[in-house]
Structure 1
Amino acid sequence: MHVLILGGTTEARRLAELLHGTPGLRPTSSLAGRVASPRLPPGETRVGGFGGAEGLAAWLREHGVDAVVDATHPFAGTISFNAARAAAAAHVPLLALRRPGWVPVEGDRWHEVGSLEEAARALPALGRRVFLTTGRTGLAVFAGSNDLWFLVRSVDAPAPPHPARMEVLLDRGPFTLDHERELLRRHRIDVVVTKDSGGAATAPKLTAAREEGLPVVVVRRPPVPTGVPVVPDPEKAAQWVRGRLDQGAFPVID
């Protein structure tokens, strides 16, 4: 049984680890190739795009894929919708693995927005020294914010266009609470911008911002394509995949 894992996330690597070595199961992990030195999962891997939904559907047929698990980043919306169209065209079952989103707690000063553009428009009323943790893509949206200073954290260096007043911090999570506290204070941050990526690896920044009483602009995640079942963790995704081996069919996800 050939399973394609659309990956690049911690959850995708964990799923590959859970499935690797299972008799009768051949997992292949696909990475977008946007990070220069990705953490490779065990088993077969491929890097790069497929050429849209039609290209992915052709790849599924050519390689005899029996199931697809979309374990991409919650904000990798294009590949998720391409996967839904491709899986339908190739008559291959599809599961989405999405870590739960963050939930505000007492003391949080969240400002939820629907896009990076909305986040950029909200910033001038909230602060002047911005901790921007939305990754290296999308910085062009903030390029015209000349009155603001940005601390940008990403795995790889961003390419222009980007804000004129900007310091880049190349780093990769997970991050500790002490690390995030020190970072906010050292750079005199007064507002944080993040996508609702969920997970524990980068959540300490939210706690640190709450302790400092800082506003946090949170970009809401895009929806999963209609009709695609969703599980919150790699263990449940592995259970779904193994259902094919154990039962000859895919179990229903409640």
Structure 2
Amino acid sequence: MSAHVLILGGTTEARRLATALSARPGLRVTTSLAGRVSRPGAVDGEVRIGGFGGAAGLADWLRAHRVTALVDATHPFAELITANAAEAARATGVPHAVLRRPGWDLADDWYPVASLEEAARLVPRLGQRVFLSTGRLGLAAFAELTDTQFVIRSVEPPEPPLPPHRELVLARGPFTLADELDLLRTHRVDVLVTKDSGGAATAAKLAAARALSLPVVVVRRPELPSDVRALPDVDGVLGWLAGIIPPGGSCAADTCP
């Protein structure tokens, strides 16, 4: 029987992993996307859209589709999905790992906070024109800041409640340093708010803020469950999977985990 890898996707690393695994003959690869973006980027292998119905639903899917290994390659802030994946893996005994790129190194002009709500309490003390680069979810935390002007960038329009004074920039990255410098200067931004998503794809805004000597409010990422295997990159996941799945991508019915 063919070994089957389920990737919980939505990140650049998830797409790269799907591409690498799909090139292996005899291996079935499925990437699951939450469906929050109407036009996701192309993904190699099979793709499913939508939730599973919590940890129990995911466990049922793992059993029904005879999944050999589960890789959680979701965004570092997809806390609920990560918790559900860990619980489903425990319930089914399916080998499970989290592909989590390292966070950014703390800089002198950064203000680390634990949540978007804490960021909203801090922002008025740092500036009046804020580049809010935290995605389209959770913006309600800033909705009560009536004396602050926000520039909000997201792939698709966010849903209310939203800050009353805002400019919406609809764009899909990655963005270059020149792009980010132009945005900050054009909108006269004096403080950046972002999440510690890590990686190079979204790091240009940090370099731009540093070049313009702007303060940066950084929401710290949630902790992973203590019993979860965390791997920093695609190569690390491929090495882990090599210990589970034979080189041919298939195994006897009684040897696949």
Query: What is the aligned partner in structure 1 of residue 31 from structure 2?
Result: 29
Over the aligned positions, Cα root-mean-square deviation in angstroms equals 1.4
Deviation at 1:63, TM superposition (A): 0.7
Displacement of 1:239:
1.9
CA deviation map 1:105-158 (0-9, x unaligned):
4xx410000000000000010000000000011011100000000000001011
1:63 aligns with 2:65: yes
CA contact (8 A) 1:24 1:245 kept: no
Q: Distance in 2 between matches of 1:245 and 1:77?
A: 28
Comparing 147-156 and 241-250, the one that deviates more: 241-250
Task: Give TM-score scaled by structure 1 length.
Answer: 0.95
CA contact (8 A) 1:114 1:220 kept: yes
Within 5 Å, give how 1:1-254 maps onto structure 2.
1-105=3-107, 108-246=108-246
| Paired residue secondary structure (1:41) | coil
The answer to which of 84-93 and 236-245 deviates more is 236-245
Point out where structure 2 has 5 or more consecutive residues left out of the alignment: none
Checking the alignment, whether the CA contact within 8 Å between 1:2 and 1:64 is kept in structure 2 is yes
- Residue identity matched to 2:51: G
SS of alignment partner, residue 24 of structure 1: coil
Distance 2:5 2:158 in 1: 33
Amino acid at match of 1:197: S
Structure 1, unmatched stretches of 5+, are: none
**How far apart, in 2, do the equivalents of 1:199 and 1:173 lie?**
13
Q: Which amino acid aligns with 2:121?
A: R
Runs of 4+ in 1 over 6 A off after TM superposition: 247-250
Superposed displacement of residue 202, structure 1: 1.1
Task: Report the Cα offset of residue 21 of structure 1.
Answer: 2.7
Distance, in Å, in 1 between the alignment partners of 2:51 and 2:13 is: 20
| Number of residues of Structure 1 aligned to a counterpart in Structure 2 | 248
Give the match's secondary structure for 2:48.
strand
